[in-house]
A and B are shown apart, each in its own frame.
Chain A
Amino acid sequence: MSVTLGGADTRPVQWRAGAGRVVAGTVLLTAVALLPWLSGTDAALTVLRARSADQDPTPAQLAAVREQLNLDEGPFTHMAHWLGGLPRGDAGISWVSGEPVLPQVTSAFAVSFTLMLGALVVTIAVAALVCARTLHLGSRRRLGHARAGTGAAVLAALPKFLLASLLATVCGVWLDWFPSSGWEGPGAMVLPALALGVPSGAMIGGLLDHSLPAAFNEPWARTWHAFGFSPGHIARHALRRTLSGVLPQLLPTVVALVGGAVAVEKIFNIPGLGRLALDAAIAQDLPPLQTATLVLVLLGVAAGLLIQALRRALLGPALRDGALPALHPPALPRRRSTLWVAGFCAVALLTLVVAGLLRDPLHVDTTARLLSPSGAHPLGTDSLGRDLLARLGHGALRTAGVALAVTAVSMVIGLLLGMAAQVGAGLTEVVSTLPAVIAGLLTTAVTGPSVWGAACAVCLVGWSPYAAQTAALLEQERASGHMLASISFGADRWYLLRHHLLPAVLPSVVRNALLRLPTAVLVLASLGFLGLGEQPPTPEWGRLLSENQPYVELAPWTVLGPAGALVLLSVLAVSGTALGRSGARRRTPGRETRLRGSS
């Protein structure tokens, strides 16, 4: 894991990055190809079950399937056969349906890709809204207070499947504005794109909003303002400066939706790639699963290269020549409201947990099902008459603990891999688009169903946003003037890492991690059907949300409670660290000047 300094010679870097992509892709495809053999579950049985639910699994039937699919030949013959067909445009035939795989995968990919583009449009719009205020004030040098980003945290914490259910019910059924399901025209795209794009946009917007003040703090911004450049002009250049650090987040946040939007695809009945891959994975139907994985790998690499090219274009020659000024946030005073918000969230969560812990989360009372909130059940009851407050309270520690641990581990892995720029880049691109479900299946195949399996699986793929971010920020930091100065003064690698690289990267990565905390909770719970994670009836926030999802319309409080708790947690984390950071900065007066400079 070498920390490269300077962008002196790019050719070997590109070569190594290319090798990283090939190796990562090959490892992933091989792992997928081995799935039925690793999992110990007979592929003949799962294929038979997928074909016919009532079929008796007699030895003769299983043998017939095995013979038909040539399962005895082993994984490598199959893989070679599949690879051999690819140059001819033949990706094999599905084990379940017996139909050619390529047409299925391409049409599903086209659907998912279109949906992803729709989500991208929404993401850009929402991100623009989130950072509009900072952009407006900053370009006019009126940024008096730092923003904690609670608004973005609220939106980013909204579970996509919940948003999807809600939109389908309200805009699809009640108001009849858009089709509630299906994929028959651009109109059908609106609701799913909103459900996917709003949380993603809030996440991207939150990151942009966080790094914009630093751009406005740069000397050029002050100079330009003094020279009377229009605010729009300054805003554009500040955006250009910060976008290059945030753009790589589009890969794991938006591009990954091509394969990772299974829940939303199901709710809106969209024949996308996520569902195809999931069905194939469950049936252990290798040819479609392999082809879908390959498509996702290629997509990840292509999108990664495109994003990199965009970044290079944004930053221009400055990146190459090591002439970028470093982005350092100004020491803006926090608003008092941030303290209030953090305090409110902390008190609310604490009350929730304490009140919940005093109640029984497991007691089933079938006569008290779906009761609306009342004195006896302040948050109402779920479909089995269990007290929701109790379930939230008892689930809080476990949920927050596991999610924080998983996020922390992912962040550390991301930081390390992000620093290993060349190898890391390829790996990051390949893993970014990998659906968590496939990681989950690979984990179950190795470990079997287990409590820690879900955490492992999420760590396996969860690091990619942080690695992408670290790599991007480091690239800028390495190209900055003060790094060159430090090197010329004879600073060693460790010194550079501690005093320049980590301080430049860490705040943004932590912010990113906190915005992604709710997603971690939901992804952890979404792997439950593979036997990964805590088994029911253990209360856990992600499970509370997914098990109550069918009752969204009938008993909205069953999901409002858990969703609200998730939002509280996320806002608390974001505003709490904002307070902590500004506190720390106040103790060590920085080199930065206040932004209100010229007025």
Chain B
Amino acid sequence: MRTTYRGLAAALALTPLLAGCFVSGEGGSDADGAAGSAGRLRVALAVPPVQALSPYSNDATVLSKLSVAEGLTALDKDGAAAPALAKSWTRKNATTWTFELRKATFQDGTEVTAESVVNALDHANEAKTKPRVLSDVTLTAHADDTDTVTISTKTTDPVLPLRLASPALGILSPKAYAKDGTVSPVGTGTGPFEITRLTGKTKATLARFDAYWGGKAKASGIDVTWIAEGTARANALRSGDVDIAEWIPTAQAKLLDKDTRHEVPSVRTDSLVLNTGSGLFTDTALRAAARQAVDGSALVDSVFGGYADPAQGLFGPAVSWAADKRVEVTGRAKAATTAQVTSKTKGRTLRLASYTNRAELPEAATVLQQQLEKAGFTVKQDVREYTQMEADLLAGKYDALVFSRVTLLDTGDAVAYLASDYTSDGVYNIAGLKDSEVDQAIKSAAEEGDPARRQQKVMRAEAEILRTDAVVPLVHEKVVQGIGTDVEGVLLDPRERSLIDVDTRVK
């Protein structure tokens, strides 16, 4: 018996020894403690870093959300290019642009020069897996003098200034780029906040960068915690552990105090994508029947708990210009009646896919299943983790997919999304759409240089796509951001690119 006691005692004695294994509360926040909360912002972000905050990965948005790195340009409220590190730019000819740099310093103390900008862009261009924003363009940057950069593209690129606002093309100091291809934004950005420490995938500490060209930030620093689980993020805000918690799941939103709950229309549209390439929905009448059967507005107050807008098209209210320029859809196929659906499907089941990564989608799929069954379809669901089914989706193994898609990709330009998802040779064409008129419409939008006319053409392409019934928009999502009542100046950005800037502060 003695031995057991000793064994137990030894096991218990190990516990304090292992206390070293806790995530060390980074010196700053503990030492400053109460003092630190004066001025420091505590933020809970949703997506843990995958590549140590490399701008060429998912993590790029973290750098822009926390104002760590900046590009040559930025996007303004309406989604137009605004000056950032470049104070102005001119288009020399179809493929050449020059950018005038402002006087700015990197967080490591070195000056931002044309050379360093060229160096940063070159590295992005040569990254082993090219950032999404450069996938359809090849940039060549050249330093004219210390504060002028000329950028030329192989083919005409009317949206180059928008592209350069992408967080993946943030300009970091030469020190950031290691020989082995990794990029570290720790202490190498130009923004008002400087990452001083990154603890694995759980925490990061940011300090104010006092030499920021746009003036000193009002907050003295940021303590970031990554909390992947939405409920836990909501809990962290409710218990006062953080001041800001992004992406509160719709199921939790009601639990937040009203004045901490802020909704933002998002550029995310949820839709039902129908597989036009193979299976049931090669039949246009069946597609039309599905479109008529499906009612996305039923999802708004139920599945999304009111945090969504009924779909108006592919582009929702977060794309400010879309509503005014919307083109009416004409020439749609006639929907099959319930009896026709039954005879046409001949007992074949409709394989309806959705994925678990976004909690609302499986619920939406179940509602849609009932709607489709009413229209005469026999439906079988397949719900999995997204990566477990992506290959099958791209191979066209499903008839329909409940899909949540960002409509303005990191270019901030709507054409990129349309081109990858709906053109015959689009790499993300889950609908398997091959329609020459759609291709034509998207191509013509891609070539248009004038912003207003480009938007008009995008909306024409939207109408062409909707005509084919390859996609049935359901809702435009809203994002709920949890913001403590003692914080002000948090940016509510539909593109989910910015969150904290120089003016954000604790009251």
**Contact indicator A173/B238 (Cβ below 8 Å):** yes
Q: Give me 10 A-to-B residue pairs in the complex whose CB atoms sit less than 8 angstroms apart, sorted by A's number.
A: A51-B50, A64-B128, A98-B51, A117-B14, A173-B239, A267-B229, A313-B3, A313-B4, A314-B1, A531-B389
**Contact indicator B19/A46 (Cβ below 8 Å):** no
**Contact indicator B427/A57 (Cβ below 8 Å):** yes
Interface string of B252-263 (1 = CB under 8 A from A): 101100000000
Q: Which residue of B lies closest to A117 (CB)?
A: B15
**Contact indicator B22/A185 (Cβ below 8 Å):** yes
Does A121 touch B at the CB level, under 8 Å? yes
Given contacts A68-B129, A117-B15, A184-B25, contact A54 B231 (CB under 8 A): no
Q: Please give the distance in Å from A385's CB to the nearest CB on chain B.
A: 7
Q: Which residue of B lies closest to A121 (CB)?
A: B12
Number of interface residues of A (CB under 8 A): 88
Interface residues of B (CB under 8 A from A): 1, 3-4, 7-8, 11-12, 14-16, 18-23, 25, 49-52, 56-58, 128-132, 135, 180-182, 200-202, 225-232, 235-236, 238-241, 249, 251-252, 254-255, 298-299, 301-303, 356, 359, 362-363, 365-367, 369-370, 380-391, 394, 406, 409-410, 420, 427-428
Contacts between the two chains (Cβ within 8 Å), count: 245
Given contacts A243-B4, A314-B4, contact A267 B50 (CB under 8 A): no
Interface string of A359-370 (1 = CB under 8 A from B): 000111011010
Given contacts A53-B58, A96-B50, contact A118 B15 (CB under 8 A): yes
**Contact indicator A184/B23 (Cβ below 8 Å):** yes
State A165–B230 Cα separation when bound (angstroms). Answer: 12
**Contact indicator A168/B235 (Cβ below 8 Å):** yes
State A537–B366 Cα separation when bound (angstroms). Answer: 6
Residues on A with beta carbons closer than 8 Å to the beta carbon of B225: 182, 269
Given contacts A61-B130, A183-B202, A529-B384, contact A269 B15 (CB under 8 A): no
Interface string of A232-275 (1 = CB under 8 A from B): 00001101100100000000000000000000001111010000
State A46–B410 Cα separation when bound (angstroms). Answer: 20
Q: Please give the distance in Å from B353's CB to the nearest CB on chain A.
A: 10
Given contacts A181-B236, A314-B4, A362-B370, contact A553 B58 (CB under 8 A): no
**Contact indicator A536/B383 (Cβ below 8 Å):** yes
Chain B CB within 10 Å, residue with most, of A54, A96, A530: A54
- 3 interchain residue pairs of minimum CB distance: A366-B302, A110-B21, A550-B251
Residues on B with beta carbons closer than 8 Å to the beta carbon of A37: none
Residues on B with beta carbons closer than 8 Å to the beta carbon of A529: 356, 383-385, 388
Among B14, B23, B254, B382, contact of A535 (Cβ-Cβ < 8 Å): B382
**Contact indicator B231/A550 (Cβ below 8 Å):** yes
**Contact indicator A531/B4 (Cβ below 8 Å):** no
Q: Please give the distance in Å from A362's CB to the nearest CB on chain B.
A: 7
Given contacts A58-B427, A169-B235, A537-B381, contact A124 B4 (CB under 8 A): no
Among A182, A363, A554, contact of B251 (Cβ-Cβ < 8 Å): A554
**Contact indicator B388/A282 (Cβ below 8 Å):** yes
State A273–B219 Cα separation when bound (angstroms). Answer: 35
State A547–B15 Cα separation when bound (angstroms). Answer: 35
Known: A110-B21, A364-B369. 5 other contacts (CB 8 A): A46-B390, A64-B130, A113-B21, A364-B370, A385-B302
Q: Please give the distance in Å from B369's CB to the nearest CB on chain A.
A: 7
Does A56 touch B at the CB level, under 8 Å? yes
Does A12 touch B at the CB level, under 8 Å? no
Q: Please give the distance in Å from A266's CB to the nearest CB on chain B.
A: 5
State A107–B21 Cα separation when bound (angstroms). Answer: 7
Residues on B with beta carbons closer than 8 Å to the beta carbon of A53: 58
Does A48 touch B at the CB level, under 8 Å? yes
Q: Which residue of B lies closest to A39 (CB)?
A: B388
Q: Please give the distance in Å from A518's CB to the nearest CB on chain B.
A: 22
Does A577 touch B at the CB level, under 8 Å? no
Residues on B with beta carbons closer than 8 Å to the beta carbon of A334: none
Given contacts A384-B366, A537-B366, contact A180 B239 (CB under 8 A): yes
**Contact indicator B200/A104 (Cβ below 8 Å):** yes
Given contacts A314-B3, A366-B367, contact A110 B18 (CB under 8 A): yes
Given contacts A188-B22, A537-B381, contact A99 B52 (CB under 8 A): yes
